[in-house]
Every structure is written in structure tokens, then in C-alpha cells.
Structure 1
Amino acid sequence: MSALFFVLTSLPAFAAQTEAPLPETFANHKVVLQISDSDPFKQTLVLNVAGNLQRYYGASDVDIEIVAFGPGVRLMLKGNANSQRMQSMMTAGIRFSACANTLANFAKKLGNTPELVEGVDKVPAGAGRILQLNAAGWQILKP
């Protein structure tokens, strides 16, 4: 019985350790943009929305993280058509996170893990990251 109690009480602590850390932010607006689509139009759209939000509110008043999972991770792969634009957006303070689960599945199919655009963070689970940010008061947008 005590071993079962230990396992059950340890699970929440273990789960919390596997989540990516929350960003420190003093912005009034916190937005997480979801991209889970491989369509280049939608991938460009999510970048446009992020840029438009930053221009509208000002870089110091909005914190933006773009989270990709499933086919949307293609946006964050090194050498994609938006790589330079993403680097510029990172310089302006926009964060990018790619799902490690998706990358592991890509690796199974490809035989190697594809490289990410420099500066993209890996998070354990893209959908989990979105829920984590939402629980911390971030608004979710899926353009």
C-alpha cells in the first residue's frame, strides 16, 4: 500500500518536471498561436498574425509564442521557406516551440531527427504546451 501511495503522489511532481518552463513576462497581453497544419498558406498566416499583434500592441505589451505540433512542425524545420522570417521574429521577441513527440515520430519515419530552425525550442508535447500557457493566463489563437 505504501509503494502505491508513493507512486500516485509522485506522478504530479514528475509531470510538472517534464513541462517546459513558463516564460517570464510583464506584458499585458499573452498570446499562444497554434500551428498544426502543413499548409504553407496557414503557416504564413500564423506568422502574419504574430507580426500584426506585435505591431498593434507593441513588442513590450504583448508576449507571443507560436507552438507547432503534428504537420505544423514543418514550419519550424531548418531550411523551410520562412526560416529567415522566423529568425527576424525571434530577434523581435517572438518565441517558437516545436513538439518533441512530433519530432520523434518524424525521426521514426525518416531515420533521423530533422533539424529545427536555430532558436526554436523543443517542448515535450505541443498540445500540452498550449494548455500549460493557457492555464497560466495566455490566450489561444489558431489562425
Structure 2
Amino acid sequence: MAALIALAGPVAPVSAAEAVRIAIHVDENDPARMNMALNNAQNVRSYYEAQGVPVEIEIVTYGPGLDMLIAGKSPVASRVAAMSLEGVTFSACANTMAGIEKRTGEKPKLLDEAQVVPSGVVRLVELQRAGWAYIRP
């Protein structure tokens, strides 16, 4: 293992001009997992901002994880609101919303901080193809 690390050479630090972009994946209706995603976002933001490095963070929800962004259901609504003010973006999957509407007859009402994307999975693919780091807590 040490040989592999030695062959890879030193890891270059992120330059102050280069923004760090992170996509965080939430697909479980689990308050602990949702809080872990928010903690990850907060910790990464704090770390890089202390170094003067700009940070972009997008939390992408789909499937059961969409409950993170549904008004009246989200166990982390107050944290979503606070972190949105700090610049974290929250994306909700339109495919999941359509499935909920088909099942229940009602379109889910999202938190004001949520933006709708056509597909959560496709959004994660697009962000990774654009060079964003991927985290799944």
C-alpha cells in the first residue's frame, strides 16, 4: 500500500483560485443519514473557507431521500434553510415527485430552498462529469 502511495506522488493542495465542488447524494429516508449529509457539507465548507478556497456544494435527493426536502415531512428542514443561506444548493428529483404524485394523487410540496431537477441520478452524473467530487454519506 505504501508503495502505491509513493508511486502516486504528493497530492497537490487546492489553489485559492480553484473552487472545490462537491455533490452529496441522499437517497434514504433516514434522519441520521440526512444529518450526516448536512454535517459533511458543513465540515467541508468550514475547512476550505478557512483556507480561502471557494466551495460549491449541492445536495441531490431522490427516492426515499426526497423526504429531506418535503415540507411537513423533513426532519431537517431548519438545517436545510440555514445551510441554503450559506450557499448550499438542494436538488429534488422530478421523477421521484412524479412517482409520489401518481401514487398519492398529490404533488409533494417542497421546502422553499429546494430546486427541482429532471432526475436526481442524472444530476449526479452531470455533476461528476463536470468534475464535482461525489460523496454518499
Q: 1:93 aligns with which of 87, 90, 104?
A: 87
Instruction: Name the SS for the 2:90 alignment partner.
Output: strand
- Provide, for residues 71-103 of structure 1, a one-character-per-residue CA deviation record: whole Å limited to 9, x for no partner: 110101112221111111011000000000000
CA contact (8 A) 1:27 1:63 kept: no
Instruction: Name 2:110's counterpart in structure 1.
Output: 116
Instruction: Name the SS for the 1:46 alignment partner.
Output: helix
One-letter amino acid of the counterpart of residue 119, structure 1: E
Instruction: Name 1:40's counterpart in structure 2.
Output: 31
Regions of 4+ moved over 2 Å: none
Identify which range, 68-77 or 53-62, moves more after superposition.
Answer: 53-62
Instruction: Name 1:29's counterpart in structure 2.
Output: 20
Q: 1:74 aligns with which of 59, 67, 72?
A: 67
Structure 1, unmatched stretches of 5+, are 1-25
Normalising by the residue count of structure 2, what TM-score does the alignment of the two structures yield?
A: 0.82
* Superposition RMSD in Å: 1.4
One-letter amino acid of the counterpart of residue 77, structure 1: I
Identify which range, 72-81 or 26-35, moves more after superposition.
Answer: 26-35
Instruction: Name 1:103's counterpart in structure 2.
Output: 97
CA contact (8 A) 2:80 2:113 kept: no
Instruction: Name the SS for the 1:105 alignment partner.
Output: helix
Structure 2, unmatched stretches of 5+, are 1-16
Flag the 1:87–1:52 CA change in 2: closer, same or farther, 3 A. Answer: same
CA contact (8 A) 1:54 1:62 kept: yes
Instruction: Name 2:58's counterpart in structure 1.
Output: 65
Deviation at residue 61 of structure 1 after TM alignment: 1.6
Structure 1 distance, partners of 2:127, 2:99, is 24
Deviation at residue 27 of structure 1 after TM alignment: 5.2
Instruction: Name the SS for the 1:52 alignment partner.
Output: helix
Instruction: Name 2:11's counterpart in structure 1.
Output: none
Instruction: Name the SS for the 1:117 alignment partner.
Output: coil
Instruction: Name 1:56's counterpart in structure 2.
Output: 47
Deviation at residue 35 of structure 1 after TM alignment: 0.3
